[in-house]
Amino acid sequence: MRMRTKKWAKPELAVCPFYIKNPEDYRGNWKGYFKNDNPIHLELGCGKGRFLAQVAVVNQDINFIGVDLSSDMLGLTKRNIEASYKEKSLEIKNVCTTWQNIERIENIISGDVIDRIYINFCNPWHKPKQYKKRLTHTRQLLNYRKFLKDSGEVHFKTDDDQLFSHSLSYFEEAEFEVIYQTTDLHSSGYEPNYRTEHEDMYSAEGIKIKFLIAKKV
């Protein structure tokens, strides 16, 4: 079902202190944005931001960047982050969000600055002609390698069996080592797991969640 347009999203983002309007300005200087040397984790396709809001608030010594290409989603992410930090009476200092098409992510991030990438429930693009658009496609992984630190990790979750099995090959082709994988995350005992909105939706339908961690070698 298509989500109703959020007319409030763009005006709210325009005055949001942790929404970056010109991410190109920080290309090569994300540490400068956060003003510290803490590790930086990047979520690609953060959607409504439920994952980001949970993981960032309990990891104050890690900086987080959430990227999406939908302003409506980024508006919801903003509200989820605000609610999560308000609940814990914390200032929002270690998380920011921005608009960017991930296929051109190198426009906003360069150098070996990212310690970890999260990809949660990206579009599976089932037609062979569309495979290249997958956020885990080899072409994309080779781009991510350019700004992922050595031994940096990609954490990938999906509901989709075909995308999961193809992604295992993509990671191998892009010279990542898969150091953890499960085809049933919720029964695997893996902790901590922060559930995303799509994760809950698929899980409620009885679909098992596939998850892997791949390390840059």
Selected binder of ligand SAM within 29, 107, 123, 169 (CB under 6 A): 123
Q: What are the strands of the beta sheet with 114-120, ordered from one edge?
A: 19-20, 95-99, 63-68, 40-44, 114-120, 148-158, 210-216, 176-182
Kindly state the number of chain residues that form the binding site for ligand SAM, as judged by CB under 6 A. 19
Q: Which is nearer to ligand SAM, 32 or 163 (CB)?
A: 163
Instruction: Decide if residue 115 touches ligand SAM (CB under 6 A).
Output: no
Instruction: Decide if residue 109 touches ligand SAM (CB under 6 A).
Output: no
Q: Which is nearer to ligand SAM, 37 or 77 (CB)?
A: 77
Q: Which residue has the tokens 């590790």?
A: 39
Of residues 154-213, those binding ligand SAM (CB under 6 A) = 196-199
Instruction: Decide if residue 101 touches ligand SAM (CB under 6 A).
Output: yes
Tell me how far the alpha carbon of residue 82 is from its chain's centroid. 18
CB of 121 within 8 A of CB of 84? Answer: no
CB of 36 to ligand SAM, least distance (A): 26
d(C-alpha 197, C-alpha 123), whole Å? 14
d(C-alpha 16, C-alpha 9), whole Å? 10
d(C-alpha 116, C-alpha 40), whole Å? 7
CB of 148 to ligand SAM, least distance (A): 17
CB of 185 to ligand SAM, least distance (A): 12
Of 206, 210, 216, 128, nearest to 174 by C-alpha is 216
Q: Which residue is nearest to ligand SAM (CB)?
A: 47
Q: Which is nearer to ligand SAM, 121 or 171 (CB)?
A: 121
Binding residues for ligand SAM, rule: CB under 6 A, are 45-47, 67-70, 73, 101-103, 120-123, 196-199
